[in-house]
Amino acid sequence: MKKKSGRFGWIRFSILLWTAACSQGVDSGFESGWTDEAERVWIGPEYWANPMQDWRLANGRIENIVAGGDRNVFLLTRELGAAPGDFRTSVKLGRLEEDIDAVGLGEGFSGFRVGIRGQFDDYRDSAVRGNGLNVGLLTDGRLFIGRLEADAARVAGPFSELELRLHAEPAGSSYQATLEAFDASGELLARISRSDIPPEWLEGGLALVSSSGEVTETPITSREIRETGWQGKPGTDRGGTVRFWFRDWKVSGSKIVAHEERAFGPILFTMHTLSRNVVNLTAQMAPMGNAPREVSLEIEIETDTAGWHGCCDLEGSRRRRSPVCPLTTIVVTSSP
């Protein structure tokens, strides 16, 4: 952010936060970096959880702690591009209940959503209200790719620890997708394929889903938006018994497009005032839990002779100020 300041021209503020809980790759592939040490509500800058309060990061995995319709975690920094290509995604998952046998499992599913798009052609709209192709495991054990088939391959319960792997590649004018389920030892339990998937179904975002309630065929035609926000999306009521955890989420393939610039957090918002050489700055942080972190504020000024150069910076309890810094007082607050 920049602010005009008398003879010094512009003053530029940047507030940075480093944390050991994030993971980023250098190519289009992606692997989740959920560590055993981290425990918090906010999952990380690469994700958007719907809704945030119904998920948590703990035990090296993300957990859907409150059951409801369409609980999902959208991947902000990767998407399926429009160009032809193949992609793979896999995740390990299981039921969250401590006593699986004592808690009945109602209607619902867990797994992936791919090709997610909203109505405004913007990834932020897609993250909150987008629809896509659901692929995964029904609570009766059947695997499915978009449509539900009575004679589909099944996985026997209690779904304590499984791995789902989805692979899609061009097949003529369509795509062929294959979904496989493996147990904890890596043994193949079930496999289904579908070869009539239109290419446009595989363009857009990706998400993990843990959803209670009726499961219908997807993708669906987007409804007219009458209310904003995720809670206005149909099929998102609380209730049910489908609560799954996920870990080791991987995404790869030539159809994957990286968008590292879409990461959001841990600094969510900032605002400041500047009056009589006194700066008051507030930074709104995501709920960081027990993650190690260090916050630093850097201030630069622009002059006619030297251009942009450092004015002062704050790092923890240390404060360094340039002799030419025009600011007499700097007040910084952060939340939470």
Which of 204, 167, 190, 178 shows the shortest CA–CA distance to 89? Answer: 167
Instruction: For residues 8 and 112, state if they share a domain.
Output: no
Residues spanned by the domain of 60 = 30-262
Share of the chain above pLDDT 70, in %: 73
- Specify the DSSP element, H or E, that contains 75: strand 71-75
Supply the pLDDT for residue 21.
Answer: 37
Distance CA 156, CA 142 (A): 9
Query: What average pLDDT score do residues 272-295 get?
Result: 77
Position 203 in a domain: yes
Percentage of the chain lying above the pLDDT 90 cut: 60
Contact (Cβ atoms closer than 8 angstroms) between residue 154 and residue 143: yes
The answer to whether position 329 is within a domain reads yes
Pairing state between β 278-285 and 329-335: parallel
Please give the angle made by the CA atoms of 292, 294 and 298, to the nearest 5 degrees: 165
Closest CA to 245 of 25, 27, 92, 36: 92
Distance of alpha carbon 329 from the chain centroid: 38
Which CATH number belongs to the domain containing residue 132 in this structure?
2.60.120
Across 275-295, average pLDDT: 77
Distance CA 280, CA 22 (A): 29
Give tens-digit pLDDT for 16-48.
Answer: 554 433 333 335 899 999 988 889 999 999 999
Residues 191 and 331 in one domain: no
Q: pTM value?
A: 0.84
CA distance 150 to 231: 31
Q: Mean per-residue pLDDT for 60-78?
A: 97
Count of CA atoms in the C-beta half-sphere (13 A) of 174: 7
Any domain includes 74: yes
Same domain, residue pair 212 and 286: no
pLDDT tens for residues 194-238? 999 999 999 999 999 999 999 999 998 765 555 566 567 888 999
Q: How far is CA 238 from CA 95, 112, 243, in A?
A: 17, 20, 12
Determine, yes or no, domain membership for 24.
no
The 8-class DSSP code of residue 118 comes to -
Which of the listed residues 221, 242, 262 is the one where a domain comes to its end? Answer: 262
Q: What is the pLDDT of residues 101-143, one digit of tens each?
A: 656 789 999 999 999 999 888 999 999 999 999 999 999 999 9
Identify whether 248 is part of a domain.
yes
Q: Could you count the other beta carbons within 10 Å of the beta carbon of residue 195?
A: 11
Instruction: Give the residue with greater pLDDT, 38 vs 155.
Output: 155
CA dist 215 and 235 (Å) reads: 10
Task: Clarify whether residues 213 and 166 are in a common domain.
Answer: yes
The answer to whether residues 46 and 188 belong to one domain is yes
